[in-house]
């Protein structure tokens, strides 16, 4: 299995020997090589020796996704001057490619570097000018990029040297606003005729789960990739538990375990690649006894002592006092529920969504549910989520018995826009986000990049017939997601005609979105998307689709299966 992602600079004098030792150990253990950020490309292979590659201006051109402004050629104009940054020799570069357009919508800007022939890459070096943006590198070919590594530039006039293990002819460089750089140096070696050693698959059995009886079924969702080939077989097995569960779909990445009783289960996912190598990973399912009674709902009225100043409705699940480390779902209401958070108006938050099902249908949930109320001048804006909503979330998480690895956010209409706003500013704080019929047209490439780089699972839904907020408000986000991942065109380019209810999956191999029939988080093979981004378009839905989303069992089941490392 692959090691943990890292994106760090290595001191120049010792970087070379550390890299060689790490790669040699990877070959011996079969565990792959260190990864800064992002999966290995399909043809990655470890190397023993490498040298600085010669990059000229003729080898570099804009990627064509959006206009590239400024002297990007400065990234490769002082290759001789800088010497060997990996070894700590040479001078600092003088010319820079900084910001010349000060509009987030103009970013990310991208370049394609053509090495002329396949090379095995071992290191990327970037001279950080002084800014705080992000530069990302991908491999593959135009229209089919696989992320390689990303660096957030937080140094001042200093080199970053990041080890990589990739085979490619083409490199895609993408930078955000504020990602000023002076020079980029690439290390590697031309591909020889010797075939690479086979690497085993990379397997994840997914996050551990907890269910409360009478729920006795869970969905097991894993991933399996092969950096130098394809995965040809997948198999779920039960390795521990108080009884023998019934496994359905055990040869797919997504399986169902049913017939569970109280106790602790362990399930193992094994993947086999096209050269016969196997790898496995395990996940646990904790089945808790049925809680007595019902969950409780409390209205907490607005107080200046509460960070953010929000009145809020708090739902605690059955068994809250006996349990610990509960998952938390924050719910953001729509415009019709704005109020001043007092005893007369806070109750409006309970009109729609999960709180309404608790009140009117006797529904209980296996998580804490918190619904703040924003005022009539509040719209869950980018400013509000950063300066008011985030401090409120932190207050809740530190006050209640919560699991910070399982913090979720959802909202409808105006609250859907707020979900996107918060997710793009604090993606690392969330395990998943579910925006429903987003109430704003605020999608930007920079915000989409933030969500993609954090690998935040996100499942958005909209009605095709929504005349209050057109479905294009949500579609724009996914177009940006796809382009950030190296795709071309828009998410709607491949939507079926005649229209059907379907869910869009991004396919890195083609750089296009594939629409899977139905409101679903898996395709016909039982697999979810490589990048955990889902867009369901209800062909017969108007603006008021939230009951169809929140009452669909697989939506919250998918959400609760997500967990931060």
DSSP 255-312: EEEES--SEEEEEEEEEEETTS-EEEEEEEEEEEPPPSS--EEEEE---TTSGGG-EE
- pLDDT at site 16: 39
Q: Could you tell me if 164 and 225 lie in one domain?
A: no
Of 139, 157, 190, the domain-final residue: 190
**By C-alpha distance, which of 154, 175, 155 is closest to 453?**
175
146 lies in the same domain as 243: no
Whether 17 maps to a domain, the answer reads no
To 10 degrees, what angle do helices 445-453 and 414-425 make? Answer: 60
Listed residue (154, 65, 70) closest to 112, CA to CA? 65
For residue 166, the surrounding DSSP H or E stretch is strand 158-175
DSSP 76-125: GS-HHHH--TTTT-S------B--S---GGG--EEEEEEEEEEEEEEEEE
Check whether residue 73 and residue 171 sit in a common domain. yes
Does residue 494 share a domain with residue 473?
A: yes
User: What is the widest separation between alpha-carbon atoms in the chain?
Assistant: 76
Q: Do residues 182 and 70 lie in contact, with contact meaning Cβ atoms separated by under 8 Å?
A: no
Check which CATH number belongs to the domain holding 334 and give it: 3.40.50.1820
- Do 346 and 462 lie in one domain? The reply is yes
Phi, psi at residue 209, to the nearest 5°? -130, 155
pLDDT of residue 18: 36
User: Are 316 and 418 found together in one domain?
Assistant: yes
Q: Are residues 281 and 323 in the same domain?
A: no
From first to last of its 565 residues, the chain has per-residue pLDDT tens of 333 333 333 333 333 333 333 333 333 333 333 333 333 333 444 444 788 998 988 899 999 888 888 889 989 988 988 888 988 887 888 888 888 788 888 889 999 999 988 999 999 999 988 767 899 999 988 878 889 999 988 878 889 999 998 999 999 999 998 888 999 999 999 987 766 678 899 999 988 888 888 888 888 989 898 877 889 999 999 999 999 999 999 999 989 999 999 999 999 999 999 889 999 999 999 998 887 789 999 999 999 999 999 999 999 999 898 777 899 999 999 999 999 999 999 999 999 999 999 999 999 999 999 999 999 999 999 999 999 999 999 999 999 999 998 999 999 999 999 999 999 999 999 999 999 999 999 999 999 999 999 999 999 999 999 999 999 999 999 999 999 999 999 999 999 999 999 999 999 989 999 999 999 999 988 888 999 999 999 999 999 999 999 999 999 999 998 988 7
Of 506, 503, 505, the residue nearest 488 (C-alpha): 506
Domains contained in the chain, number: 3
pLDDT number for residue 389: 98
Are 381 and 488 within one domain?
Answer: yes
Instruction: Tell me what pLDDT residue 194 has.
Output: 65
Are 138 and 63 spatial neighbours (Cβ–Cβ below 8 Å)?
no
CA angle 402, 405, 409 (to 5 degrees): 80
Confidence at residue 302, expressed as pLDDT on a 0 to 100 scale = 96
Q: Is this structure's pTM higher than 0.85?
A: no
Give the separation between CA 541 and CA 530, rounded to whole angstroms. 27
Residues with Cβ within 8 Å of residue 58, at least 6 apart in sequence:
none
Is residue 25 situated within a structural domain? no
Q: Is residue 163 part of a domain?
A: yes
CATH of the domain at 224: 2.60.40.10
Per DSSP bridges, beta strands 512-517 and 432-436 are unpaired
Domain residues for 540?
296-561
Our measurement of the distance from residue 490's CA atom to the centroid of its chain's CA atoms, rounded to an integer in Å, reads 19
H or E element: which one contains 209? Answer: strand 209-212
Report CA 256 to chain centroid distance, whole Å: 24
Q: What is the CA radius of gyration of the chain?
A: 25
User: Does 454 fall in a domain?
Assistant: yes
What's residue 535's pLDDT?
98
Residue at 41 is within a domain: no
The last residue of a domain, from among 288, 319, 344:
288
Are 439 and 554 in a shared domain?
yes
Residues 247 and 117 in one domain: no
Question: Quick one: pLDDT at residue 35?
Answer: 37
DSSP 197: P
Pairing of strands 368-373, 326-332: parallel
Strands (E), 377-484: 402-412, 432-436, 458-463
Which are the contacts of 410, defined by CB distance < 8 A and separation ≥ 6?
A: 329, 330, 331, 332, 353, 419, 433, 434, 435, 436, 550, 559
**20 part of a folded domain:** no
Q: Is the dihedral angle over the CA atoms 444, 394, 351, 518 positive or is it negative?
A: positive
Structural domain includes residue 322:
yes
- CATH number of the domain bearing residue 68: 2.60.120.260
Residue 302 and residue 241 in one domain: no
Domain boundary among 266, 288, 310: 288
Q: Does any domain span residue 496?
A: yes
Sort strands 51-52 and 60-62 into parallel, antiparallel or unpaired: unpaired
Closest CA to 411 of 432, 387, 388: 432
Angle formed at CA 23 by CA 122 and CA 277, multiple of 5 degrees = 110
Same-domain check for residues 337 and 421: yes
């Amino acid at each position: 299995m692959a090691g943990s992602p890292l994106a760090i600079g290595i001191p120049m004098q010792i970087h070379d020997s550390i890299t060689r030792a790490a790669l040699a150990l990877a070959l011996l253990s079969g565990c792959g090589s260190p990864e800064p950020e992002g999966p290995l490309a399909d043809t990655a292979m470890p190397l023993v020796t490498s040298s600085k590659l010669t990059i000229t201006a003729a080898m570099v051109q804009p990627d064509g996704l959006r206009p590239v402004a400024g002297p990007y050629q400065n990234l490769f104009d002082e290759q001789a001057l800088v010497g060997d940054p990996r070894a700590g020799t040479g001078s600092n570069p003088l010319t820079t490619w900084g910001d010349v357009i000060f509009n987030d919508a103009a970013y990310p800007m991208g370049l394609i570097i053509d090495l002329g022939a396949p090379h095995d890459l071992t290191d990327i070096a970037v001279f950080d000018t002084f800014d705080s943006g992000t530069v990302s590198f991908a491999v593959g070919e135009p229209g089919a990029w696989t992320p390689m590594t990303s660096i957030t530039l937080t140094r001042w006039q200093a080199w970053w040297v990041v080890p990589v293990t990739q085979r490619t002819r083409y490199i895609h460089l993408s930078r955000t606003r504020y990602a000023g750089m002076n020079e980029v140096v690439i290390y590697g070696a031309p591909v020889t005729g010797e075939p690479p050693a086979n690497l085993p698959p990379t397997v994840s059995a997914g996050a551990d789960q907890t269910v409360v009886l009478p729920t006795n079924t869970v969905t097991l969702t894993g991933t399996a990739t092969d950096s130098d080939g394809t995965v040809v077989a997948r198999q779920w097995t039960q390795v521990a538990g108080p009884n023998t569960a019934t496994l359905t779909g055990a040869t797919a990445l997504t399986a169902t375990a049913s017939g569970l009783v109280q106790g602790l289960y362990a399930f193992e996912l094994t993947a086999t690649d096209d050269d016969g190598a196997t790898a496995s990973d395990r996940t646990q399912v904790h089945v808790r006894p049925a809680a007595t009674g019902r969950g409780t709902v409390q209205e907490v009225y607005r107080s200046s002592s509460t960070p953010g100043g929000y009145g809020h409705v708090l739902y605690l699940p059955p068994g809250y006092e006996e349990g610990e480390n509960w998952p938390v779902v924050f719910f953001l209401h729509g415009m019709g529920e704005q109020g001043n958070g007092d005893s007369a108006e806070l109750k409006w938050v309970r009109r729609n969504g999960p709180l309404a099902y608790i009140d009117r249908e006797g529904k209980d949930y296996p998580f804490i549910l918190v619904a703040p109320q924003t005022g009539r001048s509040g719209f869950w804006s980018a400013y509000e989520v950063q300066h008011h909503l985030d401090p409120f979330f932190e207050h809740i998480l530190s006050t209640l018995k919560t699991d910070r690895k399982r913090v979720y956010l959802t909202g409808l209409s105006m609250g859907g826009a707020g979900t996107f706003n918060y997710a793009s500013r604090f993606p690392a704080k969330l395990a998943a986000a579910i925006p429903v019929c987003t109430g704003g047209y605020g999608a930007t490439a920079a915000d989409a990049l933030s969500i993609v780089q954090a690998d935040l699972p996100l499942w958005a839904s909209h009605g095709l017939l929504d005349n209050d907020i057109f479905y294009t408000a949500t579609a724009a986000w996914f177009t940006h997601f796809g382009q950030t991942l190296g795709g071309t065109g828009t998410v709607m380019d491949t939507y079926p005609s005649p229209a059907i209810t379907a869910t869009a999956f991004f396919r890195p191999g083609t750089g296009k979105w594939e629409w899977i029939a139905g409101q679903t988080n898996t395709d016909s093979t039982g697999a979810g998307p490589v990048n955990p981004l889902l867009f369901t378009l209800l062909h017969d839905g108007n603006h008021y689709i939230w009951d169809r989303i929140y009452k669909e069992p697989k939506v919250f089941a998918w959400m609760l299966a997500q967990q931060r490392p």
